[in-house]
Amino acid sequence: MSETSGEQARKPMIEVRGLYKSFGDQEILRGVDLVVEEGTTCVLMGVSGSGKTVLIKHLVGLLHPDRGTVRVDGEDLSQLNEAGLDGLRRKMGILFQANALFDSLNVFDNVAFPLRERTRMSEPEIREAVNKALAVVGLTHAALRFPGELSGGMQKRVGFARAAILQPKILLYDDPTAGLDPLTTASVNEVIFTGKHQLGATSLVITPDVASAFRAGDKLALMHEGRIVEFGPPEEFRRSEHPAVKAFLNNWLRRQSQRPHKS
Ligand SMILES: Nc1ncnc2c1ncn2[C@@H]1O[C@H](COP(=O)(O)OP(=O)(O)OP(=O)(O)O)[C@@H](O)[C@H]1O
Ligand SMILES: [Mg+2]
């Protein structure tokens, strides 16, 4: 995909304004503002429990704001009925921490599932689309295997292929590399962060992998005390003077420098 020329304004694909959400007396989101522009990748970071998953659940209508608005592809979620919400969800590929593959279906049928459910494509067309998707994630050889026979990283890649098979305009990832070893993490990140180039999709990625965030994010965001306290391109984010960003990055650097000493 070619880069846009100059400062051409892009359409906001995800637009969160003044979002508040509490559970009981616990105020989790306290005025979140976040805009992800069409065709860009935004990486959302923040310490565990800061509310990243709560935020992403609002984008698919799994949670409803106490206050504030959530717009996706120009549509205000609070104005949509179930059918409208379902229509919007069809534009989204979602990959949560658990990838929820169908254990009784082989890899091919898992990836084909959304096509069979939601399109009128013929079997030969489906075969072609699925084979292409499996090639993208490097799993052509595993098409006939079942999820239980795959490694964690392979399962994640199948999950990605299934999430992306309908060529959604929007891809949401909630910590897709959780629990994977560093090598597998690298291969999954490769797939996720190159996904946008293959699809031209808008991506919002929650990941603790700061190195990948810096490498592949167009914009980086930090969630802290219920708000997005920093948002910008990687160089800007790196130079942030916000104490929470500095602490977050220092903590990450410290962990990095400790790594080689462990055996
Ligand atoms: N349905 C719920 N009911 C009550 N509390 C909830 C609910 N969902 C989330 N929370 C609380 O909201 C806070 C933020 O949770 P969230 O899952 O968004 O964190 P997170 O930033 O995604 O963390 P992690 O990086 O560990 O995934 C936590 O204190 C959690 O206990
Ligand atoms: Mg989470």
What is the spatial distance between Cα 18 and Cα 4, in angstroms, rounded to a whole number?
Answer: 29
Q: Residue 228 and residue 122: Cα distance in Å, rounded?
A: 45
Q: Establish if 230 belongs to a structural domain.
A: yes
Distance from the alpha carbon of residue 45 to the mean position of ligand 2, in angstroms: 10
**Mean pLDDT computed over 11-17:** 97
What pLDDT, in 10s, does the model give residues 125-184? Answer: 999 999 998 988 889 999 999 999 998 888 888 988 898 888 888 999 998 877 777 777
Q: For the chain, how many structural domains are there in total? A: 1
Amino acid identity of residue 127, one-letter, is R
Q: Report the greatest alpha carbon distance in the chain.
A: 56
**Residue at 139 is within a domain:** no
In the predicted model, is pLDDT for residue 262 greater than 60? Answer: no
DSSP symbols for 222-261: EEETTEEEEEE-HHHHHT---HHHHHHHHHHHHHHHHGGG
C-alpha 49 – ligand 2 centre gap (Å): 7
In a domain, 248, yes or no: yes
The per-residue pLDDT for 260 is 60
Q: What pLDDT sits at residue 94? A: 84
Residue 6 in this model has a pLDDT that exceeds 60: no
The reported pTM is 0.86
Cα of 182 vs its chain's centroid, Å:
19
> Which amino acid residue places its CA nearest to atom 29 of ligand 1?
49
Indicate whether 189 belongs to any domain: no
- Res. 73: pLDDT tops 90: yes
Q: Does 32 reside within a domain?
A: yes
Give the model confidence (pLDDT) of 209-236 as tens digits: 898 899 889 999 999 999 999 999 999 9
pLDDT at 4: 46
Closest residue to atom 3 of ligand 1, CA basis = 23
pLDDT at 108: 98
Question: Ligand 1 within 6 A of 226 CB?
Answer: no
Q: How far is the CA of 52 from the centre of ligand 1 (A)?
A: 8
Please enumerate in sequence order all residues whose Cβ is within 8 A of that of 59, keeping only pairs 6 or more positions apart, or say none: 14, 16, 70, 72, 77, 92, 172, 204
φ/ψ of residue 128, rounded to 5: -65, -45
Asked if pLDDT for residue 72 goes beyond 90, the answer is yes
Q: Output the pLDDT for position 136.
A: 80
What one-letter code names the amino acid at 54? V
pLDDT tier for residue 197 given thresholds of 50, 70 and 90: low
Inside any domain, residue 223: yes
CA–CA separation, 21 and 29 (whole Å): 5
Q: Give the domain extent around 55.
A: 10-91+211-263
Residue 25 has pLDDT above 50, yes or no: yes
Is residue 142 included in any domain, yes or no?
no
Whether residue 236 is contained in a domain is answered as yes
Q: What is the mean pLDDT of residues 17-45?
A: 96
CATH classification of the domain holding 58: 3.40.50.300
Pair 231, 221: CB distance under 8 Å: yes
Ligand 1 pocket, 49 CB below 6 A? yes
